[in-house]
Amino acid sequence: MKAQVIRRWGGPLEYTDLPRPVPGEGEVLVRVRACGVGLTVLNYIGGQLGQPSDLPRVPGHEIAGVVEEAGPGVVGVRPGDPVVVYFYLTCGRCEFCRSGRESLCRSHGGYVGVHRNGGYAEFVALPEANVLPLPEGVPFVEATAIPDAIATPYHVCASRARIRVGDRVVILGAGGGVGIHMLQMSRVFGARVVAVDTREEKLDACRSLGAEGAVSFADPQSAARAREALGGEATVAIDLVGTEPTLTWALDLLGPGGRLVVLTTFPGVGMRVEPRRLVMGEVEVLGSRYCGRAELLAAARLVQEGRIRPIVSETRPLSEVEALHQRLREGTLLGRGAVTV
């Protein structure tokens, strides 16, 4: 089969031939139809989610495809089933897995595309537990946004930020792959939303998707403009950029009872937080890590119902994935990209 592989962490991709995988006990072979391309892929190709030594590795975790073959012991899927793929490799037995918080698995086994081969290939073999049904009528390219770029916002809105009708939400990095779906998801949960980004074309896209305001972070009056568009202080701030200036800006925008949700994991990045501010205003600073399987399925239903529109702005054949990676490095890709296989 054709595949894009890395032979050292942080190294270049190589488009090459690999043996077609054979599903083992409890595994499913998926014929990849499309695979999403976002900043997370670039981060883990660079080694930020671990650097297993058993290279080469096929990256790509936002996979949509069709079951080609079910290995021994597989009972829940059949050849021909359309599926999407869950990113994390989890045990399914610990208290977190059993309570639907699989991203906190006690025996976390790593990530698809990092600790085992992913979807930058014609076929991928995965544990049955990582293969989830794709709702009828959702095209494969649009489906690539579901496993991460849409399911992650569902987890944030439902479980971490606890967004309700009347909330005033500001999103930093709103034009990116997760951000543009976070905007839509926040509105589904009943919030007014202000989008913050740096490129005007991304801010225009956010306006078209219902943002109450779209503010350039480079504007010296960005905080005042965000408050004006929100109609007051933010009740929720969601930071997808992960720098000290953006984190501080977001925290300062919160009013009493506000929640700051952080999703980035860049080493060495921090911000100053005064306990007095947290106590006197009952302000919360929350981390949010991926999603549970049930949340991924709920996100998929919202796409099927037309309540969330996947924004996959550019597709390329698998052989040209580096063109999408370059767009990501430049910050010019709106929403997600995808390779078709």
Q: How far apart are CA 179 and CA 139, in angstroms?
A: 21
Q: How far apart are CA 273 and CA 255, in angstroms?
A: 15
pLDDT tens figures, 129-186: 999 999 999 999 999 999 999 999 999 999 999 999 999 999 999 999 999 999 999 9
Whether 100 contacts 292, CB under 8 Å:
yes
pLDDT, the chain, mean: 97
Domain ranges of the chain: 2-147+291-340, 162-287
User: Residue 293 half-sphere exposure, CB side, CA atoms within 13 Å?
Assistant: 23
pLDDT tens figures, 195-217: 999 999 999 999 999 999 999 99
The domains spanning 2-147+291-340 and 162-287 adopt the same CATH topology: no
Taking Cα atoms as reference points, which of 237, 203, 228, 233 lies closest to residue 217? 203
Instruction: Please report the pLDDT score of residue 111 as a whole number.
Output: 98
CATH class of the domain comprising 2-147+291-340 = alpha beta
Q: How far apart are CA 108 and CA 92, in angstroms?
A: 10
Q: With bands split at pLDDT 50, 70 and 90, how would you rate the model's confidence at 263? A: very high
CATH class of the domain comprising 162-287 = alpha beta
What spatial distance separates the first Cα and last Cα of the chain, rounded to whole Å?
Answer: 11
Q: State yes or no: cis peptide before 245, omega within 30 of 0.
A: no
Instruction: Please report the pLDDT score of residue 233 as a whole number.
Output: 97
Residue with tokens 């009740």: 235
Name, in order, each residue with C-beta under 8 angstroms of 306's C-beta and a sequence gap of 6 or more.
none
Instruction: Please report the pLDDT score of residue 209 as a whole number.
Output: 97
pLDDT tens figures, 64-82: 999 999 999 999 999 999 9
Burial of 334 (0-12, 13-18, 19+ CB in 10 A): buried
Detail the DSSP E strand segments found in the chain. 2-6, 13-17, 27-37, 63-70, 82-85, 123-127, 131-133, 168-172, 192-197, 213-216, 234-239, 254-262, 284-287, 312-317, 336-340
Instruction: Please report the pLDDT score of residue 199 as a whole number.
Output: 94
Q: With bands split at pLDDT 50, 70 and 90, how would you rate the model's confidence at 45? A: very high
Q: What whole-number percentage of the chain has pLDDT above 90?
A: 100
Whether 206 contacts 187, CB under 8 Å:
no
SS3 15: strand
Name, in order, each residue with C-beta under 8 angstroms of 54's C-beta and a sequence gap of 6 or more.
none
Instruction: Please report the pLDDT score of residue 27 as a whole number.
Output: 98
Q: With bands split at pLDDT 50, 70 and 90, how would you rate the model's confidence at 87? A: very high
Mean pLDDT, rounded, for 317-327: 97
How many other C-beta atoms are found inside a 10 Å radius of the C-beta of residue 340?
A: 15
Mean pLDDT, rounded, for 228-237: 97
Instruction: Please report the pLDDT score of residue 38 as a whole number.
Output: 96
Residue with tokens 């992913």: 118
Q: What is the pTM of this model?
A: 0.96
Burial of 309 (0-12, 13-18, 19+ CB in 10 A): middle
Q: Any alpha helices (H) in the chain, and if so which ranges?
A: 39-45, 95-98, 140-143, 151-155, 179-188, 200-208, 222-230, 244-253, 275-281, 293-304, 321-330
